[in-house]
Chains A and B, each alone.
Chain A
Amino acid sequence: MSNNKQIKVGIIGLGPVGGILAVKLQQAGCEVALCIRNEVKRNKIINEGIILENVFQDKARFNHVFENVDDFVNLDLDYLIFAVKTYHVPDLLKSTSALITEKLTVVAAQNGIDTEHLYTSTFGDGKVLRMVVNFAGNQINPNTIKVSFFTPPNYLGSINDNRRAQADELAQILTSVNVTTEAVSAFDLVKKVWHKTILNSSLSALCGVGRLTMAEAMSDPDTVELIEQTISEAVGVAETEKIRFDDNFIRECMRYLKKGGDHFPSLALDLINGKETEIEFFNGKIVEYGRKHYVRASLNLSFTNMVNAMTNKNIISRMPGITTDISRKILNKGLTINPESLNQYKKSDCFLGIDLGSAYTKFTVIDDKGQALFRYFLPTLNNDKQAFKNVMQSISTNFNIVMSCATGYGRKHFTMSDIVKTEINCAAAGVSLACPGEKNIIDIGGEDIKIIRCDKDDNVQNFYMNDKCAAGTGAFLSEIAERASINIAEMSTLASLSNYEKELNSFCTVFAKTEIMNWIFDGMSLEDISRGVYNSIANKIAKMRIDPGIPTYMIGGVIAHHPYLKQILSEKFDLKINIIEAPQFVVSYGAAVIAAKTFAKKGKNEPEPAEAEN
């Protein structure tokens, strides 16, 4: 092995593939240099070396560990191995031209079809080897890799056979340390690449989209069928490229995949972790070659587009230029006025109300006359903080918000508003602008019911709200619908088809569910069950105090989605009940109204400097 000591290898990328190659080549007597950008990882490898566990159990230390590719220039490398993800290659190539010497051989150690094309424009066909990698692992910590499998052999080939000798040399070196690698001709290489890619494509994207490990995917008949059909598509596309596999190929693939472990393939891990993927070179290439020959590869196309869509969703909020599109989408969705008149509101005074309710956060923007300009909502307990920022960004970009008001249960934790008011006073303000004078307001929300009485001056004179349990609220309806297997979107229509007067006795949501079970066992129809649930809510409200001599209005998310409930309440109370327009937004609208009034009041007390000058 004395000859190997003179062979110098640079490795870029110290993920599992790069790490395994680094340790094994060093073990074989090569002089291995590493390029590691991450400082923590770099320092740990400098101090402790790299450790392999499980299938390979080795460790090695390294004398040359660098931060930048440029640092390789003094080493006069024989081989430069790229063990990075394909999407990192273009950037890295910008700084490798200085490394090119007559003897340098470049190794592309990524799987996927046509990955070698990334290198040929920089290095030329003559200098590039392509490796088909048949081992993998998991990074346990920055310098430890658990090798999950090795299915020999790996394949190594020269793109145009000019570097056949180097392929032979490197293959022998790896084989000498038990990483069996076979050198093949350029034409055989293509077939090996397609073989490997078909295996990867059949299952990796599925595992990522479906959150399945390889073992899970290969044990469910439904996903096994998908995998087999995906392979079949790919075999058909390969055939159009004159790459033919024998009759048992699909069966051999399925047998091979069945031995897959209970872990996620690399592409699936990238997708799950919100990173970029190599789908372009896996299923994406199969689709591309299919198009070239007018052959449909629908399953591969589905997986490619699905992975791309999921990737874009993850990445989109971090890409600067893309926010304009999001803002536009939000604006288009929330706008309640003609878009053509939008420009005037960038300069005139606008007001924002935000209702951080127990279920949803509602936004309403109004002008100084109280006209609603924009309405939007998000789930309140949404881990996607970016979604909230996007809405606020869209509002501030398109409207001149001079004052804002927060309300709802989350109001005290929301620090971006100018004033804070309770939802009861906001509800009164919201209804009163359109319906001045004495009135009752019934607000059925996600977790509570409020009855509000306003006097002739629109002030809250009295109010009541439940504080014992969630019976009769949105949470109650969701629980009951789930128990009764009623599509909650259809509940209102179903109830309108029933004349039955069954009622729940329990106030408690949990006990009410038990009663519903008994109704179901008795064979009660969905229509009767739906009406029974509404009757129970009406009874709940009947126990609260409503003045029959004045108008009554309903607001809140529940009445927005269950309009037939109004009919039942009208019958029970023998009074006319009106539903306010966009009832689920009335509280945030009222918050905006209060912001406008507060701003107007301040305007009288604090004249602008310009006015003072006048």
Chain B
Amino acid sequence: MYIIKSTEKMKAIMGNYFRSLENGEKKVAWCTSVGPAELLRSFGFEVYFPENHGALLGATRTAMDVIPEAVKMGYSGHVCSYTTADIGSYLRNDTPLKKHYGMKGHPKPDLIAFNTNQCREVQDWFYFFAKEFNCPVVGITPPRYLEEVTQKEVDLVVEQFKSMIPICEQVSGQKFDEAKFKETVRLSKEATLLWQKVLKTSTAMNAPISFFDGTIHMGPIVVLRGTQIAKDYYTELLAELEENVKNNEGFLPKARTRIFWEGMPIWGKLRMLSDLFTSNGAAVVASTYCSSWVFDKFDENDPWNSTARAYTEIFINRGEKAKMRMLSDWFKEYRIDGIIYHDSKTCFNNSNAKFGMPQRLKDITGVPALVIEGDLCDLRFFSEGQSITKIETFLEQLEENIVLK
């Protein structure tokens, strides 16, 4: 059976990371997953990412137990289930962080920072916790739905980044040090370029890392970018995967179709879906989600402009034409036979099937599309039987088309 040996090391890295959040050696800043982590790290903050906790609640299938707590407070069951699960978990003081990492609960923040480049729910989510913990909150609200990112947009974001400096200085007790900022940007860039290469190993016909593996191995690039640890880990992982490619070893040697996954992971069904695709001879080789943490525009010699540009250029923040262009390029690069759109009930912003894009993209690229409905954390919105039938029908259909070519 094919395994990625680096997984054990990754688990240790993640365990150490979570434990460091509570040891009190550093101040803690909360940050959205595609937020200004590099700037925060330059002030010496340990950075915590609440979405990572949301994903953990989804993966452990405990989200449905705690979401009702948030709903009772007035948060709709139809808004971001990371938000409702995380708030509900806090209100009930029940979190897998206790069982898995020995933590007491949510790590107490000294500062909270968000970036709405991914969605607007993050600001409501983070204001809740800022009030609970009585700590400052700062937000980046970049322009949204951009087809092109021009210098004008970049300037707007740079201005907001810089406005964070006084608050960071006050909370951290440290003066802003541009040299440290450049260093964290350099480390982030090197880690993220490695992550990009990791993902691209699956352009090989016998792909060594699937989307489902990617949702696990992306942990360090989310929570530890800007550190030497992340860079070291992805150096090791990349070496392993490149060795597998050279040896023609992959997670599905006799794949009959190659699939692109668009949208959020269904965290509580990763294993089921992975087995489903494997048993139907389909290799899920790429995704928009795992590509979210590729910031190849980072430049330590121009840290303000480059980070502002990178965080604004991400897929989720773009307009449809830009998204279609990015997807088309990925289809060619990864030799995609079909794309599956996960239309997530509570993640409107990262669901791209609602306004007709699947049909338009298929007309342009010829790549067939399937839309399935589900949710990132709340499995009550996922019909397993119907979804399995849809996916299997789609895969059978793709195989038939390939035979005809």
Most central of A409, A422, A459, A465 by chain B CB within 10 Å: A422
Count of A-B residue pairs with CB < 8 Å: 38
If A409-B385, A459-B400, A459-B401 touch, does A467 touch B373 (CB 8 Å cutoff)?
A: yes
Interface-side segment among B34-42, B304-312, B389-397: B389-397
- CB-based contact A463/B404 at 8 Å: no
Residue of A nearest to B385 (CB): A409
If A409-B385, A467-B383, A467-B387 touch, does A424 touch B393 (CB 8 Å cutoff)?
A: yes
- CB-based contact A421/B389 at 8 Å: no
> B93 interface residue, CB < 8 Å from A?
no
Which residues of chain B from 351 to 382 have any CB-CB distance to chain A below 8 Å in the complex? 372-373
The contact sample of 11 A-B pairs, CB cut-off 8 A, is A409-B389, A422-B389, A422-B396, A423-B389, A424-B393, A425-B393, A425-B396, A463-B390, A466-B386, A467-B383, A468-B383
Q: Give chain A residues whose Cβ lies under 8 Å from the Cβ of B383.
A: 467-468
- CB-based contact A468/B385 at 8 Å: no
- CB-based contact B404/A457 at 8 Å: yes
- Closest chain-B Cβ to A454's Cβ sits at a distance in Å of 11
- CB-based contact B393/A448 at 8 Å: no
Question: How many Å lie between the Cα of A463 and that of B368 in the bound state?
Answer: 12
> A406 interface residue, CB < 8 Å from B?
no
- CB-based contact A422/B401 at 8 Å: no
- What are the 7 A-B residue pairs with the smallest beta carbon separation, nearest first? A467-B386, A467-B383, A424-B393, A422-B393, A422-B392, A460-B397, A425-B396
Question: How many Å lie between the Cα of A545 and that of B197 in the bound state?
Answer: 41
Question: How many Å lie between the Cα of A423 and that of B386 in the bound state?
Answer: 11
- CB-based contact B389/A468 at 8 Å: no
Given contacts A421-B396, A424-B390, A459-B401, 16 further A-B contacts (CB under 8 A): A409-B389, A422-B389, A422-B396, A423-B389, A424-B393, A425-B400, A448-B386, A457-B404, A459-B397, A459-B400, A460-B393, A460-B400, A467-B383, A467-B386, A467-B387, A468-B383
- CB-based contact B397/A425 at 8 Å: yes
For A395-425 the 0/1 string (1 means CB < 8 A from B) is: 0000000000000010000000000011111
B interface vs A, CB < 8 Å?
Answer: 372-373, 383, 385-387, 389-390, 392-393, 396-397, 400-401, 404
Question: How many Å lie between the Cα of A413 and that of B201 in the bound state?
Answer: 36
Q: Give chain A residues whose Cβ lies under 8 Å from the Cβ of B373.
A: 467-468
Which residues of chain A from 423 to 469 have any CB-CB distance to chain B below 8 Å in the complex? 423-425, 448, 457, 459-460, 463, 465-468
Question: How many Å lie between the Cα of A425 and that of B394 in the bound state?
Answer: 9
* Residue in A424, A457, A459, A460 whose CB lies within 8 Å of B389: A424
- CB-based contact B390/A467 at 8 Å: yes
Q: Give chain B residues whose Cβ lies under 8 Å from the Cβ of A463.
A: 390, 393
Q: Give chain B residues whose Cβ lies under 8 Å from the Cβ of A460.
A: 393, 397, 400
Q: Give chain B residues whose Cβ lies under 8 Å from the Cβ of A467.
A: 372-373, 383, 386-387, 390
For A463-493 the 0/1 string (1 means CB < 8 A from B) is: 1011110000000000000000000000000
Q: Give chain B residues whose Cβ lies under 8 Å from the Cβ of A465.
A: 386, 389-390
- Closest chain-A Cβ to B204's Cβ sits at a distance in Å of 28
- Closest chain-B Cβ to A226's Cβ sits at a distance in Å of 47
- Closest chain-A Cβ to B404's Cβ sits at a distance in Å of 7
- Closest chain-B Cβ to A421's Cβ sits at a distance in Å of 6
Most central of B387, B389, B392, B397 by chain A CB within 10 Å: B389
Residue of A nearest to B381 (CB): A468
- Closest chain-A Cβ to B362's Cβ sits at a distance in Å of 9
Question: How many Å lie between the Cα of A425 and that of B392 in the bound state?
Answer: 10
Q: Give chain A residues whose Cβ lies under 8 Å from the Cβ of B387.
A: 467
- Closest chain-B Cβ to A508's Cβ sits at a distance in Å of 14
Q: Give chain A residues whose Cβ lies under 8 Å from the Cβ of B372.
A: 467
Question: How many Å lie between the Cα of A423 and that of B387 in the bound state?
Answer: 13
Residue of A nearest to B373 (CB): A467
Residue of B nearest to A601 (CB): B403
Question: How many Å lie between the Cα of A421 and that of B392 in the bound state?
Answer: 8
Residue of A nearest to B276 (CB): A412
Q: Give chain A residues whose Cβ lies under 8 Å from the Cβ of B396.
A: 421-422, 425
Residue of A nearest to B383 (CB): A467
- Closest chain-A Cβ to B311's Cβ sits at a distance in Å of 35
Residue of A nearest to B345 (CB): A468
Question: How many Å lie between the Cα of A421 and that of B280 in the bound state?
Answer: 10
Residue of B nearest to A408 (CB): B389
Q: Give chain B residues whose Cβ lies under 8 Å from the Cβ of A457.
A: 404
- Closest chain-B Cβ to A436's Cβ sits at a distance in Å of 16
- Closest chain-A Cβ to B25's Cβ sits at a distance in Å of 49
For A156-192 the 0/1 string (1 means CB < 8 A from B) is: 0000000000000000000000000000000000000
For A303-325 the 0/1 string (1 means CB < 8 A from B) is: 00000000000000000000000
Q: Give chain A residues whose Cβ lies under 8 Å from the Cβ of B390.
A: 424, 463, 465, 467
Residue of B nearest to A424 (CB): B393
Question: How many Å lie between the Cα of A457 and that of B392 in the bound state?
Answer: 20
Residue of A nearest to B386 (CB): A467
Question: How many Å lie between the Cα of A467 and that of B382 in the bound state?
Answer: 8
Question: How many Å lie between the Cα of A448 and that of B385 in the bound state?
Answer: 11
Residue of A nearest to B387 (CB): A467
Q: Give chain A residues whose Cβ lies under 8 Å from the Cβ of B389.
A: 409, 422-424, 465
Question: How many Å lie between the Cα of A459 and that of B405 in the bound state?
Answer: 13
Q: Give chain B residues whose Cβ lies under 8 Å from the Cβ of A466.
A: 386
- Closest chain-A Cβ to B353's Cβ sits at a distance in Å of 12
Residue of B nearest to A455 (CB): B401
Q: Give chain A residues whose Cβ lies under 8 Å from the Cβ of B397.
A: 425, 459-460
- Closest chain-A Cβ to B343's Cβ sits at a distance in Å of 10
For A40-67 the 0/1 string (1 means CB < 8 A from B) is: 0000000000000000000000000000
Question: How many Å lie between the Cα of A463 and that of B396 in the bound state?
Answer: 13
Question: How many Å lie between the Cα of A421 and that of B373 in the bound state?
Answer: 22
Q: Give chain B residues whose Cβ lies under 8 Å from the Cβ of A468.
A: 373, 383
- Closest chain-A Cβ to B339's Cβ sits at a distance in Å of 14
Residue of B nearest to A358 (CB): B385
Residue of A nearest to B389 (CB): A422
Question: How many Å lie between the Cα of A219 and that of B95 in the bound state?
Answer: 59
Residue of A nearest to B382 (CB): A467
- Closest chain-A Cβ to B401's Cβ sits at a distance in Å of 7
Question: How many Å lie between the Cα of A363 and that of B382 in the bound state?
Answer: 30
Residue of A nearest to B390 (CB): A465
Q: Give chain A residues whose Cβ lies under 8 Å from the Cβ of B385.
A: 409
Q: Give chain B residues whose Cβ lies under 8 Å from the Cβ of A423.
A: 389
- Closest chain-A Cβ to B266's Cβ sits at a distance in Å of 13
Residue of B nearest to A420 (CB): B392
Most central of B373, B385, B393 by chain A CB within 10 Å: B393
Question: How many Å lie between the Cα of A448 and that of B386 in the bound state?
Answer: 8
Question: How many Å lie between the Cα of A409 and that of B393 in the bound state?
Answer: 12
- Closest chain-A Cβ to B356's Cβ sits at a distance in Å of 11
Question: How many Å lie between the Cα of A467 and that of B404 in the bound state?
Answer: 30
Question: How many Å lie between the Cα of A423 and that of B392 in the bound state?
Answer: 10
